[in-house]
Amino acid sequence: MLQIPVEDLEIAPGHALEWRVVTATRGAAEPARPRPAASYIQEDHFAVARILDRENVPCPSSVGGSFEIRGPLDREALGAALLHFLRRHEVLRCVFSVSGDGLAVDVLDPEEIKLELVDAGTFTSAAGVRAYVHRFMQGTDTLRGPWFVMGAVEREASTTVFFACDHLVTDGVSTALAVEDIATAYDALSHGRRVELPETGSYLDFAAQDRARGGSLSPDDARLDYWRGFAERNGGIFPRFPLDLGVDPHALYPVVNETHALLTGAAPDVLDARCRAAEVSLSAGVLAAMAVSLHREGGPETYRGLLPVSRRNRRVWAHSMGWYVNTLPVEFSVAGAAAGTAGTVDFAGTAATVRSALSAMLQSVNVPFVRLPELLTPDRPRDRSWPFAVNFFSFMDFRRTPGAALHTARRAHGHIWAERSNGVFLWFHRNDAGLYVNTAYADTPQARRTMAGLVRTLRLTVENVVRDGTL
């Protein structure tokens, strides 16, 4: 799977189809159902959307994916596969609404979900169909729904299937899960077979456990010691992106979304081997390269950043759609990796430093990030978004996700889209073809220059590791 801007997706012209969710109307006599609690991260995401909505500053975003079906399309089977997917995952049957100052969640029964097929017409040019798919993938709405949209472009010999989710119901791993679930169900149903997929756990059960753990925290709790120390050394909870983006932190800008290949061919396998020899994970090795590259571009000797960390630490949630992510801070030194000294820093030693930092970080994996402002900085007013450009590093190895063996054959892609930002996000990912980084940043002239320089230095840094084991 390759994560790219949806507007960069190579998609041939064809006939566009959309499947829209239709929910059954409950009778007035039906008893009220108990409402489950949303997770902390869902509640925070919804709260930010409400603030932006009140300020009339729309800032929509979505997380989606796409894949190819070869041969003539069985429309009925694809519709049934999409319905099977929605009914299978409890979080996709949730209806979200405002409840006082919080978020209310209602869960529909599987049989209450139905789909309506809509004919969206024929597109005769590649530019036209790309523009249509790009618009379609912007069709989710955090506050009002829909929270999941799905469609396809049908041709005689192949069909491109695409979907987009609001972040309330998904994370990066969930994109790969969705491709695997839908494609597997379609293959079975189009051949008259029963759909066979692993059992899926309940995201709402995870949310309940998350709230039980987070709700017991107090400002003086020892479980906050790691965060407290980081905030004291950093000067706050949020680590700043250390390079100039030319942004006003109080403004939101259109987003530049780009994907860059860092290593391809045999080079990614060499990097994997270098990491194994240094007894570190691939993500730790890439983080070491990122920290050194930032320093060479003018950043500090001490790297401080926020990392999204998966919390699918139980088999029951391995195949479940949802936002199973916490955000944690990491810090470590890259002293000695000064600008202009590329190729002189030992990779194994730096990577070991990163490994130790990540190990310390993970001790706080069950401390919900969104509770930190109220616990450690209770007097700070609620921000409508992150307060400034934050140093953010994400890594995913798509070779380790469900259905990975078929990603190439299915031409599977992930797509993250946001309309506006005041900073920068970097999503590193590894697939069978290479190592890539998908960047999304505020569109200013300075940010374009800064990001071009950073990507260039980052590519040289990982090439150094591959060539001779130095940074």
User: Domain for residue 150, yes or no?
Assistant: yes
pLDDT at 384 over 90: no
Of 154, 173, 204, which one is at a domain's C-terminal end? 204
Query: What number is the average pLDDT over the span 230-235?
Result: 96
State whether 145 and 228 are in the same domain.
no
Which contiguous run of DSSP H or E holds residue 89?
Answer: none
pLDDT at 357 over 90: yes
State whether 192 and 228 are in the same domain.
no
State whether 321 and 249 are in the same domain.
yes
Tell me how many degrees the CA angle 60-61-63 measures, rounded to the nearest 5: 155
State whether 266 and 139 are in the same domain.
no
Band of pLDDT at residue 361, cut at 50, 70 and 90: very high
User: Domain for residue 449, yes or no?
Assistant: yes
| CATH at 236 | 3.30.559.30
State whether 412 and 441 are in the same domain.
yes
Tell me how many degrees the CA angle 14-87-323 measures, rounded to the nearest 5: 90
Band of pLDDT at residue 102, cut at 50, 70 and 90: confident
State whether 133 and 241 are in the same domain.
no
State whether 266 and 327 are in the same domain.
yes
Strands (E), 295-444: 302-310, 325-333, 394-397, 413-418, 420-421, 424-430, 434-442
* Contact by Cβ (8 Å): 138, 62: yes
Query: What number is the average pLDDT over the span 368-390?
Result: 82
pLDDT at 181 over 80: yes
Band of pLDDT at residue 239, cut at 50, 70 and 90: very high
User: Domain for residue 210, yes or no?
Assistant: no
What Rg, from alpha-carbon coordinates, does the chain have? Answer: 22
394: domain range? 217-468
Strand partners, 348: none
| CATH at 52 | 3.30.559.10
State whether 229 and 123 are in the same domain.
no
pLDDT at 286 over 90: yes
User: Domain for residue 162, yes or no?
Assistant: yes
State whether 373 and 422 are in the same domain.
yes
Query: What number is the average pLDDT over the span 127-139?
Result: 95
User: Domain for residue 322, yes or no?
Assistant: yes
User: Domain for residue 212, yes or no?
Assistant: no
Residue by residue, DSSP assigns 111-130 as GGEEEEEEEEEEE-SHHHHH
Band of pLDDT at residue 379, cut at 50, 70 and 90: confident
Taking the C-alpha atoms of residue 223 and residue 244, their distance in angstroms, rounded to an integer, is 34
**pTM to 2 decimal places:** 0.94
Of 137, 171, 204, which one is at a domain's C-terminal end? 204
State whether 36 and 169 are in the same domain.
yes
User: Domain for residue 32, yes or no?
Assistant: yes
Of 173, 204, 235, which one is at a domain's C-terminal end? 204
State whether 411 and 280 are in the same domain.
yes
Percent of the chain with pLDDT over 90: 85
State whether 227 and 355 are in the same domain.
yes
**Chain-wide mean pLDDT for the chain?**
93
One-letter amino acid at 470 equals T
User: Domain for residue 58, yes or no?
Assistant: yes
* Contact by Cβ (8 Å): 274, 465: yes
Band of pLDDT at residue 60, cut at 50, 70 and 90: confident
- How many domains does the chain contain in total? 2
Write down the pLDDT at residue 99.
87
Four-CA torsion 314, 316, 319, 320, nearest 10 degrees: -100
